Amino acid sequence: MTEHFGDRPMLIGGEFVASDGGEWMDSINPATGEVHGRVPAGTVGDVGRAVAAAQRAQPEWAALHAFERGRLLRRLADAIRARSDVLPLEAADTGNTIASLAGDIVLAAGYIDFVAGLGMEIKGESVPATVENIHFTMREPYGVVGRIVPFNHPFLFAAAHLGAPLIAGNAVVLKSPDQSPLSASVMAEICAEILPPGLVNIVSGHGVVVGDAIVRHPAVPRIGFTGSVGTGMAIQRAAAETAVKHVSLELGGKNPMIAFPDADPEAIAEAAVNGMNFAWSGQSCGSTSRLLLHESLYDEVVERIRERVAAIRVGDPLDPASGMGPVNSEPHYRRILDIIASAKAQGATVINGGGRPAGDQFERGFWVEPTVFGDVTQDMRVAREEVFGPVLAVLKWRTADEAIAMANDLDLGLTAAVWTNDLKAAMRTVRALQSGLVWVNGTGRHYLGTGFSGWKNSGLGREECLDEVLSYTRVKAVHIIQ
Ligand code: NAP
């Protein structure tokens, strides 16, 4: 029996409100396919109200000392930590396993704590442009920032993505995702409790309505987007049709993990499976979804991966013993099955899974087995397209040049991993890889302060570091003429 989480209003101007159009959207539990809550179907008018509220709140916030903004952000982080009640709701709404979701709260709060300490780094430079005058730069907030987030970690993103714009002195209008919109309402409650009314506004609704209205709003000069490449490009176009705007994009990946012959087969198998993030059905931009194995390792590593993946317990995301739940939505489920079918048709070997799991509990909802394909070749869809699902593609290589060429042969470049104990081989590969982040003998983990960013079509701009905070400011040069 699906728990019902009720109607979850939006936060606009400090008030919990329905849409001015009066329409609501159902949210579906992906484990059962049943409706388990509703959010308002926001309108262009709702976005207008949210932007107006943000405009009213922002000047006073920007006028606070950076320490004071940081102090309130730390309170926000503590309040996030205290809301572990969001976990069942988030697990039910996304299909991510409850055991893994506790980490999202820790990450979100940790990120806000991190940026809360960066307020004094929002500074300019003194430049000796002339001997007699004073020349310096200063940084100022944009005003109202639009943040649009995807479905895979909606609470983590709704929380963490507020930090950088807020510490920089901006107000925010955030759009929750259509597919898993419920947990943003918990973030709305936290914001309403701690922050001045209107400083953060959370609007639900369809991307092409609410997201587009935020992007096109003339009083929103700065957009921070996380989502798919196609939507990112649509946002760039829409923004450019309206005004000259600063758009940053965190987009998809098809992330290679290259294993050299000297690497330990067990460590590679473990890292490849962990890096796939099966706990949230592979629905992570950074998942190491292409494993490029030296041919000498292939048979042994593939067998070890098969054992590990076959042992993943697929089941109710609310059961702490589950290692993987359903995928997020029906359209997404159909797309994943389509790529699985294409891999089979193109001659890949099924190492594990490859369909819907059998059993009564999987008859409803959007379930896909943890799937591994071997004998994948570079021309196959499963080797080239982001699946954003529980599907790992394993490819073989003979020379390091061949492996690097395979890794770089896509228009995506988010993360990559290199496994070897040969420092020269590692560094040569790191230099050659076209991606914004490379792990050597690691996968998955983000390191705050070092930044996260995509190359090529995987993105524009950097997050999780000081650059992100500064990107929510504009620079003004000042010349004091003596
Ligand atoms: P998506 O379809 O691009 O949607 C992302 C957000 O954009 C949603 O809130 C969506 O609203 C909204 N949106 C859709 N069309 C829009 C438009 N025309 N204008 C403005 N906003 C619009 O992505 P998704 O399927 O939710 O998420 C999966 C993708 O996100 C994957 O490609 C993944 O790699 C990427 N991702 C990247 C990162 C990173 O840090 N690089 C992190 C997480 C995920 P609706 O939900 O209402 O359609």
146 lines ligand 1 (CB under 6 A): no
CA atoms within 13 A on the CB side of 311: 9
Q: Are residues 298 and 381 in the same domain?
A: yes
Whether residue 3 is contained in a domain is answered as no
- Entry field: residues in the chain: 482
Q: Are residues 400 and 342 in the same domain?
A: yes
What is the distance in A from the centroid of ligand 1 to the CA of 441?
A: 30
Q: Are residues 280 and 400 in the same domain?
A: yes
CATH of the domain at 415: 3.40.309.10
Question: Which of 180, 226, 328 is the best mutation target for the ligand 1 pocket, counting ligand atoms within 8 Å of the beta carbon and taking the most?
Answer: 226
Handedness of CA 192, 195, 198, 203 (dihedral sign): negative
Q: Are residues 286 and 165 in the same domain?
A: no
Q: Are residues 236 and 351 in the same domain?
A: no
Q: Are residues 304 and 190 in the same domain?
A: no
- C-beta separation of 267 from 419 below 8 A: yes
Q: Are residues 438 and 474 in the same domain?
A: no
Selecting among 285, 463, 464, 468, the annotated active-site residue is: 285
Helices H, strands E: what count in the chain? 15, 21
250 is catalytic: yes
Question: Distance (Å, rounded) from C-alpha 75 to C-alpha 70?
Answer: 9
175 lines ligand 1 (CB under 6 A): yes
Q: For residue range 299-329, what is the model confidence (pLDDT) as tens digits?
A: 999 999 999 999 999 999 999 999 999 999 9
Total tally of structural domains belonging to the chain: 2
Whether residue 133 is contained in a domain is answered as yes
Q: Are residues 30 and 94 in the same domain?
A: yes
Residues in the chain predicted with pLDDT less than 70, given as ranges, are: 1
Structural domain harbouring 109: 10-251+458-480
| pLDDT at 87 (0 to 100) | 97
What is the distance in A from the centroid of ligand 1 to the CA of 344?
A: 28
What is the distance in A from the centroid of ligand 1 to the CA of 119?
A: 29
Residue whose Cα lies nearest atom 30 of ligand 1: it is: 227
CATH of the domain at 128: 3.40.605.10
Q: Are residues 239 and 284 in the same domain?
A: no
Whether residue 137 is contained in a domain is answered as yes
What is the CB neighbour count within 10 angstroms for residue 321? 10
Residue whose Cα lies nearest atom 11 of ligand 1: it is: 207
What is the distance in A from the centroid of ligand 1 to the CA of 248?
A: 13
285 is catalytic: yes
| pLDDT at 1 (0 to 100) | 61
Whether residue 166 is contained in a domain is answered as yes
Pairing of strands 171-175, 34-40: unpaired
Distance of CA 140 to the CA centre of its chain: 27
| pLDDT at 2 (0 to 100) | 78
Position in ligand 1 atom list of the atom nearest CA 229: 32
Question: Nearest-CA neighbor of 348 among 332, 367, 324, 371?
Answer: 371
Q: Are residues 215 and 228 in the same domain?
A: yes
